[in-house]
C-alpha cells in the first residue's frame, strides 16, 4: 500500500512538471514541493527591506522578490522604509538599517566582495540580514540566500560569512566577431555585434544574473585568437553597451588584444613593443577604451602561440610585450593576463616542457599588473592531465588558472561529463613548492605570497545562443562549478553537483542520490573509454571530435597523436622520465615521486610519463594490453549504466529535458563504442595481441574508423 501511494505521488508530481527548455539555468525558482519546508519558509519570510535604491540594490530587491514569491507562492513585498518589520534586510554595511547590529564587526573580515547572512533579533523580532561592504557583495549574498531556499536548507539560525578566495573570477569567451565560437558547441556567440549598441538583448541581462549568482566578476568578450577590429571605435561603442549592461551585476568587461593591432588598425609599420610609436599607440588606444568603459578590466593576450603575433616576432621577450601593455593600462587600474600557452614547432623539445622553459626565467620581470595565465595542464585541457609544472615555479609572478569549461576534449555537446572532479583534481594537486600541502589552489590564491594582490581563476566559456545556453543540459553544471570553485576552491565537487541538481532539477532525495552519482562518475567514465591510463591528445584533427590516434601527417610533429602515444611493437606511452624528455624534472622532487618510477607510478597517469611494455604487469594483475582493453570496454559499458540511471529519473524531470538527456546518452554510447573500437583496433596493430574473447569484438574495421570525416563539426 505504502509503495502504491508513493508511486501515485511520483506520478502526480511528474504530471505537474511543465516542459522546460533549460533557459532558466539554475535560477528557476520553482514552487517548493516539500510542504513541510514550504510551510516553515512561509512563516519565516514575510517581506524585504532594502537599504538603498542604487541600481544594484534595485536588482537585489527584484531578484529576491521574484525568486522568493515564486518559490514560496506568496507575495513578498519590498520596501525602503526603515520602520518596516519585514523579515529580511538586504543592505550594505553603512546602511542605518543595520545600526546596532554586529554587522560592522563582521564586515571587517569580508573585504569588497564577501558577504554575511545573519539571523538577528532586532527589537524583539527575528530578522535575517544580508550584508556586505558594497552593493555587489550584498548581491552575492542575496543569490546565496536564494540558493539556500532553492536547495531547501534551514534558515532559522544563519551565521554565514563568505569571502571569495580569489579576486578575479572570470569567463573567457572564445567568441569570434562573426559570432562563430571557437570550440563552442552551443550555437553562436551571445554577443550580437550587428545589433549592438542599440539593442540590448534581455539575454545579456540573464547572462549577467547567472554569472553574478555564482560570483563571476569578469568576462573576456573575445577569442584569444584575436581580431584587432574589436579595438576600433565602432566596436568599442558596442563593447561599452555590454559593459553598461553588466556593470550593475558586478561584472567587468575585458578584451583580447591582438599584438599586431598597431599595424592592422593603427597604420604603423611595426608592433615592436620597444618601439616608442607602438608604445604610444597602445597608450592612446587604452585611453580611448577607458573613455567608453571607465572600469574596463584589461587585456588577455595570446602571443607567439599557434601562429598568433607577439613580441618574439621582433626578438623581444614575453616580458617586453606584457609590460608594454601593462604600462598602458596601469593608470586606469587595468591588468594584463598574458597566456603561457606557448609551444613552437621549431623547437625539438617535448611540448610539455616548453611553457615552463620559456616562462620560469621570466619570473619577477613582469610589471605589478601582469598575471601569467596558465592552463591547468602543460599540454592542452586533456581529459586527464597532471597539473602544469608552472604552478609553484614562478613565486614572484601572480598566476591565473585557466580551466576549459567548454568540452573541447571531453565529449563536446554530446557527452554528459561533469567537470567538477577534473577542476578539483588540479586545484588539490600538491606542487610541494612550499612544503607538503602546497596545492595548486594555494599557489593561486596567494597563500604563499601575502604581498600578492592579483589572484584569479578563469574558465573558457561553454556558452552560446542555444536556448539552454550550453548545448548539453548537463554542461550548465560545468559553468556553475567553475564559478563556485573560483569563489571557494575548497568546496567539494559533490557538494557543487548536488546544489546544481537541486536547483536545476529537483530536491527529491531519490533523484539526488542517483543523479549525483551519475555526475560524479561521468568524467572518469569519459576518460576510461577515450584516454585511459594517461593517454592523451589522440583525438580527431582540427575539430577534435572523436578518436584518431593514427594521425601522423600534420605539419607540426606535436600536432600529431602519434607524437603523444608513441605506440610501437614494444609498448605505448611518452617517456617523460630522465631517460626520455625529462619533463618530470620540471616538477618538485616530492611532487614527481608519484610518477617517476614506472613500477610505482599512479596508473591513471602511467602512459603520460612512461613508455610501457605491452606485457607490463598492472596492479590488477592484467598485462598492459589487457588493462587497456579492460578500460575501454568497462568505460563504454558504464555509459549503459548512465542510461539506466537516467531512465529511472524520469518521474522527477519534465519530459522535454528528460528526453534531451536520454537521447544524448544514446549518442554518447555510440561515441564511446567508437572510441573503444577505433583505439583498440589501432593499438592492436602494435601490440599484436587479441582483444580478450570475453568482450564483444568490434564489428567494424580499423579502415572504416580511419575513413570517417567530419568537415563540418562545430567549434573548429
Ligand atoms: C586549444 C584549442 C584552440 C585554442 C588554443 C588556445 O584547440 O582552438 O586556440 O587551445 O588555448 O585547445 O589558445
Measuring from atom 12 of ligand 1, which residue has the nearest CA?
A: 380
Find the catalytic residue in 62, 357, 380, 590.
380
Q: Average pLDDT in the 558-581 region?
A: 97
Instruction: Compute the mean pLDDT over every residue in the chain, rounded to the nearest whole number.
Output: 96
d(C-alpha 366, C-alpha 371), whole Å: 8
Domains of the chain from N-terminus onward: 21-162 (3.30.379.10), 168-504 (3.20.20.80), 528-574+611-707 (3.90.1330.10)
Percent of the chain with pLDDT over 70: 98
Q: Identify whether the C-beta of residue 359 lies closer than 8 Å to the C-beta of residue 394.
A: yes
pLDDT of the residue at 258? 98
Q: Tell me if 381 CB under 6 Å of ligand 1.
A: yes
Q: Which atom of ligand 1 is nearest to the CA of 402?
A: 11
* Active site annotation includes 380: yes
Query: Which band of pLDDT confidence, cut at 50, 70 and 90, is reported for residue 423?
Result: very high
Is a pLDDT exceeding 90 seen at residue 3? no
Torsion of CA 45, 50, 51, 54, to 10 degrees: 150
Q: Residues 247-284: pLDDT tens digits?
A: 999 999 999 999 999 999 999 999 999 999 999 999 99
* Active site annotation includes 358: no
Q: How far is CA 652 from CA 7, 371, 438, in A?
A: 12, 45, 42
Q: Identify whether the C-beta of residue 439 lies closer than 8 Å to the C-beta of residue 431.
A: yes
- Measured in Å, residue 503 CA sits from the centre of ligand 1 at 32
Q: Residues 337-382: pLDDT tens digits?
A: 999 999 987 888 999 999 999 999 999 999 999 999 999 999 999 9
Residue 217 main-chain phi, psi, to 5 deg:
-125, 15
Q: Residues 473-518: pLDDT tens digits?
A: 999 999 999 999 999 999 999 999 999 999 999 999 999 999 999 9
Q: Which of 49-63, 77-91, 375-389, 650-664 has the lowest mean pLDDT?
A: 77-91
Q: Residues 21-39: pLDDT tens digits?
A: 999 999 999 999 999 999 9
Which 3-state string (H, E, C) describes 154-202? CCCCCEEEECCCCCEEEEECCECCCCCECCCCCCCCCCCCCCCCCCCCH
pLDDT of the residue at 85? 81
Q: Residues 512-537: pLDDT tens digits?
A: 999 999 999 999 999 999 999 999 99
pLDDT of the residue at 16? 65
Is a pLDDT exceeding 50 seen at residue 1? no
Q: Residues 161-185: pLDDT tens digits?
A: 999 999 999 999 999 999 999 999 9
pLDDT of the residue at 84? 80
Is a pLDDT exceeding 70 seen at residue 324? yes
Q: Average pLDDT in the 127-145 region?
A: 97
Helix (H, G, I), strand (E, B) or coil at 710: coil
Q: Tell me if 380 CB under 6 Å of ligand 1.
A: yes
Q: Would strands 571-572 and 612-613 be described as parallel, antiparallel, or unpaired? A: antiparallel
Amino acid at each position: 500500500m505504502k509503495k502504491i501511494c508513493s508511486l501515485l505521488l511520483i506520478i502526480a508530481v511528474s504530471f505537474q512538471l511543465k516542459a522546460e527548455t533549460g533557459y532558466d539555468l539554475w535560477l528557476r525558482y520553482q514552487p517548493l514541493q516539500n510542504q513541510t519546508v514550504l510551510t516553515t519558509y512561509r512563516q519565516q519570510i514575510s517581506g524585504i527591506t532594502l537599504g538603498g535604491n542604487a541600481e544594484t540594490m534595485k536588482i537585489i530587491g527584484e531578484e529576491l522578490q521574484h525568486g522568493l514569491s515564486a518559490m514560496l507562492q506568496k507575495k513578498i513585498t519590498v520596501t525602503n522604509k526603515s520602520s518596516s518589520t519585514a523579515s529580511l534586510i538586504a543592505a550594505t554595511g553603512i546602511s542605518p538599517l543595520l545600526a546596532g547590529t554586529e554587522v560592522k564587526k563582521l564586515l571587517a573580515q569580508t573585504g569588497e566582495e564577501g558577504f554575511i547572512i545573519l539571523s538577528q533579533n532586532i527589537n524583539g523580532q527575528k530578522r535575517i540580514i544580508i550584508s556586505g561592504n558594497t552593493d555587489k557583495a550584498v548581491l552575492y549574498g542575496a543569490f546565496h540566500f536564494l540558493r539556500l531556499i532553492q536547495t531547501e536548507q534551514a534558515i532559522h539560525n544563519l551565521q554565514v560569512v563568505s569571502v571569495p578566495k580569489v579576486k578575479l573570477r572570470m569567463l573567457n569567451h572564445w567568441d569570434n566577431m562573426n559570432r562563430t565560437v571557437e570550440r563552442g558547441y552551443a550555437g553562436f556567440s551571445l554577443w550580437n555585434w550587428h545589433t549592438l549598441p542599440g539593442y540590448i538583448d534581455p539575454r545579456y541581462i540573464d547572462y549577467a544574473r547567472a554569472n553574478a549568482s555564482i560570483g563571476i566578476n569578469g568576462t573576456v568578450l573575445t577569442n584569444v585568437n584575436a581580431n584587432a577590429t574589436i579595438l576600433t571605435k565602432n566596436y568599442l561603442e558596442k563593447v561599452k553597451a555590454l559593459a553598461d549592461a553588466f556593470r550593475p551585476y558586478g561584472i567587468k568587461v575585458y578584451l583580447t588584444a591582438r599584438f599586431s593591432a598597431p599595424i592592422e588598425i593603427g597604420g604603423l609599420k611595426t608592433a615592436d613593443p620597444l618601439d616608442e610609436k607602438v608604445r604610444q599607440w597602445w597608450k592612446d588606444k587604452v585611453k580611448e577604451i577607458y573613455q567608453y568603459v571607465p572600469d574596463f578590466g584589461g587585456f588577455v593576450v595570446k602571443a607567439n602561440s599557434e601562429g598568433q603575433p607577439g613580441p618574439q616576432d621582433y626578438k623581444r621577450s614575453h616580458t617586453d610585450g606584457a609590460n608594454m601593455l601593462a604600462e598602458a593600462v596601469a593608470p586606469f587600474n587595468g591588468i594584463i593576463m598574458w597566456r603561457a600557452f606557448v609551444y613552437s614547432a621549431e623547437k625539438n623539445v617535448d611540448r610539455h616542457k616548453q611553457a615552463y622553459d620559456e616562462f620560469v626565467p621570466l619570473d619577477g620581470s613582469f610589471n605589478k599588473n601582469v598575471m601569467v595565465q596558465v592552463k591547468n595542464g602543460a599540454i592542452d585541457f586533456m581529459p586527464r592531465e597532471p597539473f602544469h609544472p608552472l604552478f609553484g615555479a614562478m613565486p614572484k609572478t601572480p598566476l591565473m588558472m585557466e580551466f576549459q569549461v567548454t568540452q573541447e576534449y571531453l565529449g563536446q555537446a554530446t557527452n554528459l561529463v561533469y567537470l567538477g572532479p577534473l577542476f578539483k583534481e588540479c586545484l588539490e594537486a600538491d606542487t610541494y613548492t612550499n612544503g607538503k600541502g602546497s596545492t595548486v589552489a594555494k599557489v593561486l590564491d596567494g597563500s604563499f605570497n601575502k604581498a600578492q594582490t592579483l589572484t584569479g581563476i578563469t574558465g573558457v566559456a561553454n556558452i552560446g545562443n542555444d536556448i539552454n545556453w550550453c548545448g548539453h543540459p548537463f554542461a550548465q553544471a560545468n559553468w556553475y562549478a567553475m564559478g563556485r570553485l573560483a569563489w571557494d576552491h575548497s568546496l567539494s565537487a559533490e557538494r557543487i553537483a548536488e546544489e546544481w541538481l537541486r536547483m536545476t532539477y529537483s530536491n527529491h532525495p531519490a533523484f539526488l542520490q542517483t543523479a549525483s552519482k551519475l555526475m560524479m562518475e561521468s568524467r572518469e567514465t569519459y576518460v576510461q573509454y577515450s584516454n585511459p591510463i594517461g593517454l592523451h591528445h589522440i583525438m580527431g584533427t582540427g575539430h577534435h571530435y572523436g578518436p584518431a590516434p593514427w594521425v601522423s601527417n600534420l605539419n607540426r610533429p606535436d600536432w600529431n597523436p602519434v607524437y603523444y602515444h608513441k605506440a610501437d611493437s614494444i609498448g605505448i606511452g611518452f617517456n617523460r622520465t630522465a631517460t626520455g624528455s625529462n619533463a618530470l624534472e620540471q616538477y618538485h622532487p616530492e611532487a614527481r615521486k608519484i610518477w617517476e618510477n614506472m613500477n610505482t607510478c599512479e596508473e591513471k597517469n602511467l602512459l603520460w610519463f612512461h613508455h610501457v611494455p605491452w606485457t607490463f604487469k598492472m596492479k590488477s594483475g592484467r598485462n598492459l594490453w589487457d588493462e587497456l582493453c579492460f578500460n575501454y570496454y568497462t568505460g563504454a559499458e558504464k555509459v549503459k549504466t548512465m542510461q539506466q540511471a537516467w531512465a529511472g529519473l524520469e518521474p522527477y524531470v519534465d519530459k522535454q529535458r528528460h528526453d534531451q538527456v536520454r537521447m544524448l546518452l544514446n549518442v554518447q554510447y555510440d561515441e564511446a563504442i567508437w572510441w573503444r573500437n577505433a583505439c583498440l583496433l589501432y593499438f592492436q596493430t602494435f601490440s599484436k595481441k587479441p582483444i580478450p574473447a570475453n568482450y564483444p569484438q568490434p564489428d567494424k574495421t580499423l579502415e572504416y574508423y580511419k575513413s570517417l570525416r567530419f568537415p563540418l563539426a562545430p567549434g573548429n
